[in-house]
Amino acid sequence: MTQSDRDEAHAFDFLEEDAFDAQDYGLEDYLTLGIFWLLALDVFLQFFTRYVLGNSIAWTEEMARYLLVMVGFMGGTMAVRKGSHIAVEFFYRYMPPWMARTASTLVDLVNIVFLAAMVWITFKLAGLTTALMTSVDIPKSYLYYIVMLGFGLMLARAVQVAIRHWRSGTSELLGSQ
């Protein structure tokens, strides 16, 4: 077998490594994907009406903005589940294992308290908001409730992650300790 034959035989190995398994994804992944496709459709509609038809639809720009906010908050839930939010891992490498685990647990608890506070604050803010969106007659409070949903899902995932960290005695922050 020549080198060319071996290269050809392994040319599509990357497809096997990344085989789709629905169990690797959570509800928030599918919600985010759906909202993202709505955003893509909205932006395409805006592009098409503005540059092809020469007269853009007014509500597409505002909807794109709000859909992008939704994607951001739903995507935040995915990051909480995977433990891929930005963190300072440098200090954990130089701490004794017991101190690193204590700090990691404290980070989990602060994360839960922060997300719970954000759920409460966005709930109160949505209740106080009476304005309508600029280009469509939809209450702006709906957007705040969706942000609250994003924070609520992040909170639920943060509790799951904290329980998993506590049971396993490790965390993504601890690395190989």
Q: How much is the pLDDT for 46?
A: 94
What average pLDDT does the chain have? Answer: 85
Q: How much is the pLDDT for 165?
A: 85
| Secondary structure element (H or E) that encloses residue 37, with its range | helix 27-47
> Using one digit for the tens of pLDDT, what is the confidence trace for 118-172?
999 999 999 999 899 888 888 999 999 999 999 999 999 999 999 988 888 777 7
Rounded to an integer, the average pLDDT of 52-63 is 89
d(CA 87, CA 100): 13
pTM as predicted: 0.79
Q: How much is the pLDDT for 121?
A: 97
Residue whose pair of structure tokens reads 């609520």 in the numeric block: 152
Whether residue 17 is predicted with pLDDT greater than 70 in this model: the reply is no
Q: How much is the pLDDT for 69?
A: 94
d(CA 131, CA 81): 34
**Cα→Cα distances 138→19, 48, 123, 125, 135, Å:** 41, 24, 18, 16, 9
Q: How much is the pLDDT for 135?
A: 87
Inter-axis angle of helices 27-47 and 59-82, nearest 10: 160
> Using one digit for the tens of pLDDT, what is the confidence trace for 79-104?
898 887 777 777 777 888 888 888 88
